[in-house]
Amino acid sequence: MRKYFLIATALVTLNACSTASNYNPLDDYQQLTPATNLPTPVALSNGNFTVEQVERGQYLVGLLGCGSCHTNGALTGTPNRQQLLAGSDTGIAWSNPLVDRNPGIVYPANLTPDIETGIGSWSKQDIIRMIQTGMSKHGGQTLAVMPWPSYANIHADDITAIAAYLKSLSPVRHQVPAEVMRGQKAVAPFIHFGVYQSKL
């Protein structure tokens, strides 16, 4: 009988203790449980948007679970409520740590309007384009680890409301770790999503 597993496991780097010949990746890690159902931070009033847009954006950001990735500590089960939507120090591996000893990792960005550490310099259009197409303000194509393909068909009014809400948040200063290239050793923890099936 086939067995199917959906594994969404938070992994924390420990001291490497195995050698290449008897490598068992799980020897290097301990398991943590992600937190879900986070509150969305209250928005400030912002003259550029209507109250209805901002409230709808807050509702949608809660519904779509943006904070589960973009809140520090949420992926490791200890969400920091002073840093809601202000980015995560826990990254998401985009290559498989069971195959690559040192996978490539991206860190969910700070979505509050802090100029230096968040998206304070992004226009409404920059935010909309990023969520719908994965194209960053800086021109790069974001990996689908940020699930923009799922957001591509969000209705224009809804995506505008999400951008309005994000632009109306209080800025929170929080610098997320830099992207880790494949083959580089991560110093911050990361999560890996994988679907596995036992071999016949």
Residues near ligand HEC (CB under 6 A): 61, 64-66, 68-70, 92, 106, 108-109, 111, 119, 127, 130-131, 136, 142-143, 145-147, 151, 162, 179
Q: Of the two residues 26 and 115, which places its CB atom closer to ligand HEC in the complex?
A: 115
Q: Of the two residues 10 and 119, which places its CB atom closer to ligand HEC in the complex?
A: 119
In the complex, what is the shortest distance from the CB of residue 67 to ligand HEC, in angstroms, rounded to a whole number? Answer: 8
The label of the residue with tokens 């036992």 reads 198
Query: How big is the CA angle at 16 (ends 15 and 18), to the nearest 5 degrees?
Result: 145
Q: Of the two residues 69 and 86, which places its CB atom closer to ligand HEC in the complex?
A: 69
In the complex, what is the shortest distance from the CB of residue 83 to ligand HEC, in angstroms, rounded to a whole number? Answer: 15
Q: Of the two residues 15 and 164, which places its CB atom closer to ligand HEC in the complex?
A: 164
Task: Fill in the DSSP letter of residue 146.
Answer: S
Q: Of the two residues 29 and 166, which places its CB atom closer to ligand HEC in the complex?
A: 166
H helix count then E strand count, the chain:
5, 5
In the complex, what is the shortest distance from the CB of residue 21 to ligand HEC, in angstroms, rounded to a whole number? Answer: 33
**Residue whose C-alpha is closest to residue 67's, from 111, 28, 31:** 111
In the complex, what is the shortest distance from the CB of residue 190 to ligand HEC, in angstroms, rounded to a whole number? Answer: 10
Sequence-distant (6+) residues with CB within 8 A of 7 are 192, 193, 194, 195, 196
- Residue 94's CB is within 10 A of a number of other CB atoms, namely 18
In the complex, what is the shortest distance from the CB of residue 148 to ligand HEC, in angstroms, rounded to a whole number? Answer: 8
**Residue whose C-alpha is closest to residue 175's, from 107, 104, 128:** 107
CA distance 72 to 80: 6
Q: Of the two residues 29 and 119, which places its CB atom closer to ligand HEC in the complex?
A: 119
In the complex, what is the shortest distance from the CB of residue 79 to ligand HEC, in angstroms, rounded to a whole number? Answer: 14
* Token duo for residue 128: 């909309």
Residue 41 gets the label, from left (phi > 0), alpha (psi -120 to 50) or beta, of beta
